[in-house]
Chains A and B, each alone.
Chain A
Amino acid sequence: ATAIAPKLVLGADPINVGSLTPNTGGGGPFGPNIAAAHRRVVEEVNAAGGVLGREVQLTQENSETNPETAVRAADKLINVNQVIGILGTWSSSVTLGIMPKCQEAGVIQMCTSSSADIPAKDEKGLVFNFQALSPVWGDAIADLALRRGFKTFSLMALNNDFTGSMIDAFAAKVKAKGAQVINEPFFYNGGQSSYRTEVEQLIAGDPEAVFIPAYVTDFTAVYKEIFRSGYEGQVISVSIATGDKFKEAVGEAANGLLHGVPVPPIGSKAYAMYLQEAGLEDTGEVQHPFGTAGRDQMSSLLLAVEKAGSTDTAKVAKAIWEVTTGPGKKEVFSVLEGLEAIRAGEEINYSGASSSVEFDNEGMVLGRDFQLTEVQDGKDVVVERLEFKG
């Protein structure tokens, strides 16, 4: 059925795409998945004849989750590799850090960052975010938590942008629904040699539940400390901090923990495909929350190039909406399906492994389901789900 798949045109310039992922540093646990997903999509596409008959050339860099290094890496991608887009930035500070360079050079950015500043600072409409912004997280998780009937909460968060706005939204929601936040929400820094004081402060008023948005490395240490402190109330966090590795690291003590996250449409077709591509088994749990986004980033970018028929980034940016967003188009779940459809002259809507990939007019992803999960017997058990209602 691939009669129309073109062969790579010999001698044509390749299409350059950059991937800038947090392979080390704070995002270290996630970056490699994203990078691998990027590479898989590109390999798949190249094997099937490339885009516009041209080979896709992928250059991957490590942001080290550090904006200082990331800017130089972006510089290299832009000026040496002449990429049309930089995909995969994760931490907001990196996404924002390279933004001036990218905007100046007219390079598309695709990220999974959650800072509310991202749309505001994207003046040229070149940034696409595959992650819900953190206020949305806070609101949704609070909503789910309230359904469990907690009346008093204490909040603390890792000190970064992602968690900062999440806490505000969480608190606002809690108050709006008549429950109480009994502490003055506060932040802690990652990479500390102990978190005892912070935990002490958090549980001081003996709240029914505590909410701690964080990253996995520091959350693991914090959670151990909470457990050791003898706190008997409910701990709530975000699922990115409570993956398999977390559960392995803390063992049985993880039982009873609640965590929420925007989820890939588990059971959806694209997600199943992702698991297969990544060689994972379907456990019914959320796996690779960012790897899935990596797949969707690369897929939508390449589809958009094919759609735009050029590598002019303004045109490609416009085409990204065309291939991902809007009703009444043919739904595709993988890049190859999509390419085929585009070449067949069809209008497509790419539905991804991380979400259905619908963007608002600022390039922020819309359609994300949220799910609240409880750890029981070392396994995630879904307790509540909040489906995105288009």
Chain B
Amino acid sequence: MTFYFVSIATYVGFFMIMALALNLQWGMTGMVNFGVAGFYAIGAYTSGLLSVKAGWPVEWAMLAAPVMGLIWGAAVALLSIRLREDFLAIVTLGFGEIVRLFVLNEDWLTEGPRGLRIDARPLGGMLDRDQYAYFYLALVAVTVLIIFLISERIRRSPYGRVLRAIREDDVVAGVLGKVVLRYRIQVFALGGAFMGLGGALYAHYVQNISPDVFMPMVAIFIWMSVIVGGAGNNKGLLIGAGVVMALLEGTRFLGDFMIWLDAEKLSALRIILIGVLLIVVLRLRPRGLMPEEKFRYNP
């Protein structure tokens, strides 16, 4: 049982990384990113392919993932300079799908639908199975912490203030001399980098990735984490990630109590329950469990 919790905690960690990144892009800056799964995939495949096919040391491969995420984040932001919020939604959604189609179809590179087996992992072979689980959890936790601190610093700084101003009204921000485009690109790229790193950590943890992993559903879970936690609030969405995972996993144990249901009905019921609980949570806490805090300067 402990190991189950350790591994679930690790998955929560991935969600947290992704949610922090999304919060930076959307919660703080107002840039809708429906292509979360695409960035996740970019990170996962970059690191996976570099370590499996190019023979890079796994640590280097994992560091290349955020770089790749950064580049693509900047590219997507540049492409959508002129777009309104809802259009950014389609462009990013499309981006996520294209990434998935790419890994699905370019099997000469990615192994396509067969999936990529990744045996390499950091400190692989030096720890036994139990120790390794703890080690990886620690690795993910440290990453979450670092990204959290960076995000918090941004949020509390004048930089974060500009981001929120852009979120509210980009024309006003422009008239006040803020180079809106630069901020948008920086933030989207930074978020992309965090997502890339999240993808890399995920890939080397599950050790087998395939295009099916990066379906839009993953993006939906990340969005849920941010919304349930409280958009704009980094602490809140850490909780949000936990809550969403608890919903996803907790409902698994349903079967232990409702043994009279057959597997198909049970799995339908489980997803229905996730949906209902989600609606209830949002109904009770529309701005999330921990809404964005107001800033009070008291120097």
Q: Which A residues have a C-beta under 8 Å from some C-beta of B? A: 19, 21, 23-24, 31-32, 35-36, 39, 59-62, 64-69, 71-73, 75-76, 78-80, 91-93, 96-101, 104-105, 115, 117, 121, 159-161, 164, 187, 189
Contact = CB atoms under 8 A, between A and B. Distances in A.
Contacts of B267: 23-24, 62, 64
- Classify the secondary structure of B's interface with A: helix
Contacts of B255: 59-61
A104 B104 contact: no
Given A35-B263, A100-B207, A66 B217 contact: yes
A75 B7 CA distance: 7
B263 A93 contact: no
A93 B115 contact: yes
Interface in B186-236: 206-215, 217-218
Contacts of B207: 100-101
A96 B112 CA distance: 13
A73 B252 CA distance: 8
Interface string B245-288: 00011001001100000111011101100000000000000000
B161 interface: no
B202 to A, nearest CB: 9
B101 interface: yes
A161 B1 CA distance: 34
A91 B215 CA distance: 15
A54 to B, nearest CB: 19
A19 B8 CA distance: 20
Contacts of A24: 264, 267-268, 271
Given A36-B262, A62-B267, A67-B210, A80 B4 contact: yes
B242 to A, nearest CB: 14
B115 A96 contact: yes
B96 to A, nearest CB: 14
Interface in B82-114: 101, 104-105, 107, 112-114
Given A75-B7, A80-B1, A164-B113, A93 B105 contact: no
B129 A104 contact: yes
Contacts of A61: 252, 255
A104 B131 CA distance: 13
Given A72-B8, A79-B7, A159-B104, A67 B114 contact: no
B11 A72 contact: yes
Given A39-B263, A71-B206, A100-B207, 13 more contacts: A23-B264, A24-B271, A31-B264, A36-B262, A59-B255, A59-B256, A66-B217, A78-B3, A97-B212, A117-B117, A164-B107, A187-B105, A189-B101
A20 B217 CA distance: 20
12 contacts: A36-B262, A59-B256, A62-B263, A69-B248, A71-B206, A79-B7, A93-B115, A101-B207, A117-B114, A117-B117, A121-B117, A160-B113
Contacts of A19: 263
A97 B210 contact: yes
Contacts of B8: 72, 75
Top 9 nearest A-B pairs (CB, nearest first) are A79-B4, A62-B267, A35-B263, A100-B207, A32-B264, A79-B3, A23-B267, A93-B210, A68-B213
Interface of B: 1-4, 7-8, 11, 101, 104-105, 107, 112-115, 117, 119, 129, 206-215, 217-218, 248-249, 252, 255-256, 262-264, 266-268, 270-271
Contacts of A73: 252
B210 A96 contact: yes
Contacts of A35: 262-264
Contacts of A160: 113
B1 A68 contact: no
B102 to A, nearest CB: 12
B129 to A, nearest CB: 6
Nearest to A36: B262
A287 B7 CA distance: 39
A76 B264 contact: no
Nearest to B245: A72
A376 to B, nearest CB: 31
Given A36-B263, A60-B255, A93-B212, A105 B129 contact: yes
A68 B218 contact: yes
A90 to B, nearest CB: 13
A299 B73 CA distance: 51
B113 A93 contact: yes
Given A75-B8, A79-B4, A159 B115 contact: no
Contacts of B2: 79
A99 B117 CA distance: 9
A59 B256 CA distance: 8
Contacts of B113: 92-93, 159-161, 164
A384 B19 CA distance: 56
Contacts of A65: 212
A62 B274 CA distance: 14
A67 B213 contact: yes
B52 to A, nearest CB: 12
Nearest to A158: B113
A100 B263 contact: no
Contacts of B271: 24
Given A159-B105, A187-B105, A92 B114 contact: yes
Contacts of B248: 69, 72
A97 B119 CA distance: 12
Nearest to B117: A121
B215 A76 contact: no
A181 to B, nearest CB: 19
Give the most central of B8, B213, B262, B267: most A CB within 10 Å. B267
A39 B270 CA distance: 19
A99 B206 CA distance: 9
Contact of B270 (A62, A96, A99, A115): A62
Q: Please indicate which of the listed interface residues A35, A64, A71 has the most CB atoms of chain B within 10 Å of its own CB.
A: A71
Contacts of A187: 105
A50 B60 CA distance: 52
Given A59-B255, A97-B208, A161-B114, A68 B264 contact: no
Contacts of A99: 117, 208
A100 B114 contact: no
Given A59-B255, A96-B115, A164-B112, A66 B212 contact: yes
